[in-house]
């Protein structure tokens, strides 16, 4: 794994030492000697992570970190505070300043590379989600103060050592909802059924392979994205490295400081919520690309892409498939007499009735204006005609109460039916026949169904 690392320290020897260590691991290193230069360098070089000394003249590390996290352009960049102070209170002060992690001087190589690689991995995921989301720039990472005022996090603690699990639970429970489970199999099943924002695992449980448990959670779809924080012994370097390689997000060395445990839990929960927001925006964007915003039905683009594949699949396997081309009768008159808002509500009610009249395997698309296409897999022309007539009667038989001037409207539709006719058939040909049948229904007086097979 490689990434661009910004090293910030006012002592040149410290900068050169970190630069040499990181360069040896093939990281691209840029440097700054004070807070002002660091903020300028972030804008110019777009680093993937910042290693930031706390004690600097002028703008100190705490203020630099605060400015990074308050800027919508840079708040997602991980910040690791580096300082000579090693008291627990100082570690917490660094984390509470908005930093994502904390290292003490002299920096341990294992801790340095573990923290950097873990945060860079998370940064890459965040970058990918932000790139896919048009709102990526506006989805911001909540500050710790905002997060504390928000809902408590849901944390699962997996530990079969009663005394240790109780200490963990006691440190977290005033601020978060904590579930403790001592059996790994039960814990995995529970985590797959319940949405947790953090899982804490003691690697030194009795008669249990904690690494295998981490691997199981990272391999399951429901828990793959859930942050995992492990608790390890001070000299357990080999298992710590393996855990981080498989995607574990953070770690704590025993004995655990309660404040540091809470601060690291808060960091992971906050980032979990941020990535969840980004995923939601990405999903919404994908849905907008294939969905008609007025009716919630699929749009023309989706219909053309998906239906072509369905037609090809049906022909290759000798299956039936039919299309219904549906058009609202005299829709322009509805708009002219009642206004476009009423017309929109007519289309929304129509979409609702159509969805209630189809099977799960069928597909409805609004392809423009008052025009719709319904795709009916495994359905021949005769059955499709009966389905279409049932739809027609369901629409015309009950007035549309949509706020029209003169009360509920009687709405009718005309429907054309076409089906696969030969091995050489295509989507374009079937759609053309369905449209011709629709126009025939219109010419025949509307509120009727015509089929090319009739």
CA-CA distance, 95 to 75, in Å (whole number)? 15
Among residues 418, 422, 409, the alpha carbon closest in space to that of 437 is found at 418
Q: How many other β-carbons are positioned within 10 Å of the β-carbon of residue 163?
A: 8
Alpha helices in 150-257 (DSSP H): 162-172, 184-193, 210-219, 237-245
Phi, psi of 3 (to 5 degrees): -170, 165
CA angle 63, 65, 68 (to 5 degrees): 110
* Per-residue exposure over 23-51, b if at least 16 CB sit within 10 Å of its own CB, e if not: eeeebebbbbbbbebbbebbeeeebbbbb
Q: Tokens 């007025």 belong to which residue?
A: 294
Greatest Cα pair distance, the chain, in angstroms, is 89
Say how many CA atoms lie within 13 Å of 327 toward its Cβ. 20
Cβ neighbors of 133 (< 8 A, separation 6 or more) are 139, 278, 281, 282, 285
370 is an active site residue: yes
Element (H, E) at 117: helix 109-132
Quick one: tokens of 122? 């998370």
DSSP 409: B
In the structure encoding, which two tokens stand for residue 88, read together? 């627990």
| Helices and strands, counts by H and E, the chain | 16, 15
Burial (CB count within 10 angstroms: exposed 0-12, middle 13-18, buried 19+), residue 333: exposed
Nearest to 279 by CA among 128, 399, 96: 128
Helix or strand or coil: residue 345? helix
Task: Calculate the alpha carbon distances from 225 to 18, 108, 231, 272, 273 in Å.
Answer: 31, 28, 19, 8, 11
Contact 96, 263 (CB under 8 A): yes
- Could you tell me how many residues make up the chain? 454
Please identify which of the residues 19, 197, 349, 370 carries the catalytic annotation: 370
**Angle between helix 109-132 and helix 237-245 axes, rounded to 10 deg:** 10
For residues 102 and 73, is the Cβ–Cβ distance under 8 A? no
Report the C-alpha gap between 36 and 46 in whole angstroms.
15
Residue 95 is encoded by which pair of tokens? 């984390």
| Catalytic residue annotation | 370
């Amino acid at each position: 794994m490689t990434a661009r690392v910004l090293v910030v320290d006012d002592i040149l020897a410290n900068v050169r030492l970190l630069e040499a260590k990181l360069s040896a691991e093939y990281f691209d290193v840029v440097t700054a000697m004070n807070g002002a230069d660091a903020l300028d360098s972030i804008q110019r070089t777009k680093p993937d992570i910042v290693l930031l000394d706390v004690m600097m003249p002028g703008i100190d590390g705490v203020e630099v970190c605060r400015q990074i996290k308050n800027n919508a352009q840079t708040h997602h960049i991980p910040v690791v505070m580096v300082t000579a102070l090693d008291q627990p209170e100082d570690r917490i002060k660094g984390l509470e300043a908005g930093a994502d992690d904390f290292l003490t001087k002299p920096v341990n190589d294992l801790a340095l590379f573990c923290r950097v690689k873990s945060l860079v991995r998370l940064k890459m995921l965040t970058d990918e989600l932000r790139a896919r989301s048009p709102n990526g720039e506006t989805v911001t990472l909540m500050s710790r103060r905002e997060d504390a005022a928000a809902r408590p996090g849901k944390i699962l603690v997996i530990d079969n050592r009663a005394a240790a699990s109780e200490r963990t639970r006691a440190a977290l429970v005033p601020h978060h909802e904590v579930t403790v489970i001592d059996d790994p199999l039960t814990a995995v099943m529970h985590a797959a059924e319940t949405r947790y924002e953090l899982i804490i695992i003691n690697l030194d449980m009795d008669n249990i392979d904690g690494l295998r448990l981490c691997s199981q959670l990272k391999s399951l779809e429901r828990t793959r994205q859930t942050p995992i924080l492990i608790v390890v012994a001070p000299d357990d370097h080999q298992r710590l490295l393996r855990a981080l390689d498989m995607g574990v997000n953070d770690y704590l060395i025993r004995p655990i400081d309660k404040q540091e445990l809470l601060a690291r839990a808060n960091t992971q929960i906050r980032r979990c919520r941020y990535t969840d927001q980004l995923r939601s925006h990405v999903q919404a964007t994908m849905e907008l690309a294939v969905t008609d915003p007025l009716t919630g039905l699929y749009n023309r683009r989706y219909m053309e892409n998906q239906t072509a594949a369905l037609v090809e699949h049906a022909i290759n396997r000798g299956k039936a498939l039919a299309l219904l081309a549906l058009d609202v009768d005299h829709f322009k008159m509805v708009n002219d007499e009642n206004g476009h808002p009423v017309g929109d509500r007519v289309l929304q009610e129509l979409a609702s009735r159509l969805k209630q009249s189809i099977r799960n395997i069928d597909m409805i698309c609004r392809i423009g204006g008052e025009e719709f296409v319904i795709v009916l897999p495994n359905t021949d022309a005769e059955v499709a005609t009966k389905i279409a007539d049932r739809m027609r009667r369901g629409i015309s038989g009950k007035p549309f109460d949509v706020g029209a001037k003169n009360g509920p409207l009687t709405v009718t539709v005309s429907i054309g039916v076409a089906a696969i006719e030969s091995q050489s058939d295509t989507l374009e040909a079937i759609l053309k026949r369905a449209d011709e049948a629709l126009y025939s229904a219109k010419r025949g007086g509307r509120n009727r169904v015509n089929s090319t097979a009739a």
